[in-house]
Every structure is written in C-alpha cells, then in structure tokens.
Amino acid sequence: MSERLEIRLTVNGAPLACAVGQTVASALLANSSYLLRLSPNGQTPRGAFCMMGACQECAIQIDGGIRRACQTEVRDGMRVELRGAADDRG
Ligand code: FES
C-alpha cells in the first residue's frame, strides 16, 4: 500500500490526482500543464515562473477566486480553472 495520500481536484472540469502537500502549481506542472492562463492585455501565454509567490504569473481561478497557484495547497474537491489557456498536455 502506498504511503502517499491522494487528492482529487478538477482542472477545467477534468479530474486530476495529486499528492497531499503539493501546491496547485506543482500538481499542474507534474501533469505537464505549463500554460496556466493568457495575459489580460496582450493575450500572451503565462505560466508559473518564480514558484515563491512573488511574480503573480500563476494567478488563476481556484475555487471561484483568483489565487497564486504556487502558494495554494491542494485539497480534495478543489476546482481549478485555467481561463483562456488551452490544455497543452500531451
Ligand atoms: S509562480 Fe510566481 S507567484 Fe506563483
């Protein structure tokens, strides 16, 4: 039996399994989701950059509010929306 506890969240409505203690950004990166959103002005692709809460590049919709994905720990049932970002996995 695995020691790793599993959490399920949804990303744009699709299920994503991740581990207890991960941040939303690390869970997305581990799942090869690098494009988080488009910039509001130039519509340029944005993704996690500093991973320490400073750059704001990872600000996305989490449970209905804008939050920094690199500073938000995953929890079961969490809803993540990557607005304006195409699913770049695979
Ligand atoms: S990656 Fe810079 S604030 Fe999250």
H helices of the chain, in order, are: 24-30
The pLDDT of residue 89 is: 44
How many whole angstroms from its chain centre is CA 15? Answer: 12
Q: Could you identify the atom of ligand 1 that is nearest to the CA of residue 55?
A: 2
Rg (CA), the chain: 13
pTM: 0.88
DSSP 73: B
Q: Is 37 in the pocket of ligand 1 (CB under 6 A)?
A: no
d(Cα 68, Cα 60) in Å, to the nearest integer? 6
Q: Whose CA is nearest to atom 3 of ligand 1?
A: 53
Q: How do residues 61-85 score in pLDDT, each as one tens digit?
A: 999 999 999 999 999 999 999 986 5
CATH of domain 6-81: 3.10.20.440
Nearest to 39 by CA among 54, 52, 56, 23: 56
